[in-house]
Chains A and B, each alone.
Chain A
Amino acid sequence: MVEPILQAAWDGLRLVFSFPNILYPIIGTLLAMVFAFIPGLSGFTLMALAISFTLHWEPLPIMLLFGAFVGGATFMGSITAILFNIPGTTPSAATTLDGYPLAQQGEAKTAIGCSAMSSALGSSFGVLVLILLIPVMRQAILSFGSPEFLMLSIWGLATIAAVIRGSLIKGLAAAGLGFLLSFVGFDPRTAEVRYTFGNDFLREGISVVPILLGVFAIAEMITLSVTGTRTISGSAKVEQLTGSLWRGVQAVFSNFGLFIRSSIIGTVIGMIPAVGGTVASFVAYGQAVQTAKNRDKFGRGDIRGVIAPEAAHDAKDGASLVPTLAFGIPGSEGTALLLGALSLHGLVPGKELMNNQLSLVFVLIWSLFLSNWLTSIIGVALVNQLTRLTVVRTQLLTPIIFALAVLGAYAYKGRIEDVAVAALFGLIGYFMKKFDWSRVPFVMALVLGPLFESNLHITRNLHQLGRINFWTRPLTVALMILTAVTLLLPYVQGIREKRRQRQASEEDSS
């Protein structure tokens, strides 16, 4: 059983490191780094734009490029967190707590070196766990039938709605809207036309690509345009950096226990859909403080406060691919976009991908691995040059991204109506962002919609024919219970929180 996996791993490695394939992860990493550094742009904007421009590509370069996109942007946010006290990405917020004070004490290079090494090693840890879990994932998928996949997609959506920051109700409703949108067009069983208003354009259904471009690329540009130019710092000139890169690298090895603990935290959290890097880095930071013998320096420039969040944040990248590749449940905006790209190329996560196209899975994994190391190495080597990107006037970029987004929407099927769809969903995406409606469950339900519908029909038919009993399948029941528990969790936490507050106020008054 292990031999085909090792063979696929070797094939994947050879494919990634052969010429000209190696150029894809290198270019992908550089693009991701630039997008991560320019204020207002992000890895998601890049991925949304790239989906439409790579539609006619073969699956191999898609895996190479998107693997690099997933891993390429992670470390960049930490550089601005350390140098300017402004996290380039939200998970890097935890790094500001000790990274910035270190920079102020003249140890910027030490903090950046430490952050780069923790990131690279942390991501390698996550990738290693992902590879070790592949045999388990292949076995687990075999025990899943239509009812289990149906329940799994419901549980995945419930988890995302429950775990993401903000409202549970909005999260669930956004998922419902995503599903609803995926139903537009022909009914797969009866060929009846649904929600088209007699419009020929809608008969084929609304394409995912213009919606992704609208919700991620155009919505981000609208935000940028509305809020004005958001440069990292008015005085974002980097002075001569002081400190020692080597000392930063050494710090990771002299605190190896902390690094391993943080990587484990990142890996476990990464596997839970939607929990994401922010939670991983803050939980890891918290455990670093709690387990330290001397806690006085935390928050005032302790190198351990850089190691923990960086390791956890990067370890989660590889781990987040576990639910995405095995069950088609994306864990974040990045993996939701990755899933969208894969499904548009006919790569269906689950049995098909994990059994018949395992070498492609390894291409994605090695590309992610390579991009994580490349980001750290290039990031450290070009820190001065990269920080100049933070003062790029984003108002100049906004119309260019608009142009690329509408062109991408049109390029997908050559229909002018898709341009209007992208613009419309750009506005809807902007308001979703403004009013705290998470876009992850919306996009995830949109992508999962057709699969959800077919699994629901198959399950219902099999149940009616007496071929299966939905209620006596242990995995289905377990997933149902898990869904109920997940949905109740925020409510229970709220009750406990209120009780704690009441107790505290009673103690204060007594």
Chain B
Amino acid sequence: MTKTIEKALFTLFLFAVVTVSLFLTLRLGQVARLVPLAVIVPTLALLAFQLLLDIMPHLRQQFSSLENKDLFHVRRLREKSLHPNNSTETTAAMADEEQGLRRNEMITMLWILLLPVFIYLFGFLLALPWHTFCYLRWRSGESWLMASGVASGVFALVYSVFVLTLRMALYEGELSRWLGL
């Protein structure tokens, strides 16, 4: 999947969210719908236009002043100083890197989505150190010792700060509750 398609898909996702909001807004009463409609209609128009820009390169070129504005002419100087030696990168290397990034992205997203699931099932006190350990051991490739050390540190931090000091009732987790842990 190219970055252009990814971009367009993200815009499409936002467009879908706002479209659903529009339908929900139309069901509201006269007063309650007033302000949301004043926001939704222009937002939807802007997103539709952005979607067109994302999928039609010639249109993007035509409206390049809106797409890549640089009111203070800072970009050139900034990019020059930020990436002084990037001319040596080859196209093939960049494509490889892109593919690697995409794979990393999918894996990271999975890890992020796992965290709320872990918390829901096991509660904060078990899920956070467990997630930290798994992330460090299998995502980052750290040693068993390092992963367990940092995970223990996370447990100590959460327990001392939130349970002992702030006396916060942390969520126990559905599975933990069911198992009586």
Contacts and interface: CB of A to CB of B under 8 A. Distances in A.
B142 A419 contact: no
A426 B46 contact: no
A282 B72 contact: yes
A194 B162 contact: no
B81 A168 contact: no
A165 B32 contact: no
Interface string A158-184: 000011011111101100110110010
Given A279-B74, A282-B78, A427-B112, A494 B64 contact: yes
Interface string B25-69: 100110110111011101100110110010000000000111111
Contact of B132 (A275, A399, A435, A497): A399
Given A399-B150, A403-B158, A414 B35 contact: no
Nearest to A432: B10
Contacts of B153: 400
Contact of B77 (A94, A189, A222, A498): A94
Given A96-B81, A176-B39, A187-B31, A396 B71 contact: no
A478 B168 CA distance: 51
A496 to B, nearest CB: 9
B126 interface: no
A194 B154 CA distance: 39
A190 B81 contact: no
Contacts of A435: 6-7, 10-11
Contact of B84 (A85, A407, A416, A426): A85
A225 interface: yes
Interface string B85-123: 000000000000000010011001101110110011000
A480 B139 CA distance: 52
A87 interface: yes
Nearest to B113: A423
Contacts, number: 208
B139 A490 contact: no
A250 interface: no
Contact of B108 (A97, A222, A489): A222
Interface string A245-288: 00000000000000000000000000000010011001101100
Contacts of B120: 416, 419
A169 B46 contact: yes
Contacts of A189: 31-32
Contacts of A489: 71
Nearest to A175: B43
A469 interface: no
Contacts of A190: 29, 31-32
Interface of A: 85, 87, 90, 93-94, 96-97, 162-163, 165-170, 172-173, 176-177, 179-180, 183, 187, 189-190, 192, 194-195, 218, 222, 225-228, 275, 278-279, 282-283, 285-286, 395-396, 398-400, 402-403, 406-407, 410-411, 414, 416, 419-420, 423, 426-427, 431, 435, 437, 452-453, 456-457, 460, 489-491, 493-495, 497-498
14 contacts: A169-B67, A173-B50, A176-B42, A180-B18, A180-B40, A194-B28, A222-B109, A222-B112, A279-B72, A398-B135, A399-B132, A399-B150, A402-B115, A456-B34
Closest 10 CB pairs of A and B: A494-B65, A176-B43, A490-B69, A395-B140, A187-B32, A192-B32, A399-B132, A173-B46, A399-B135, A403-B128
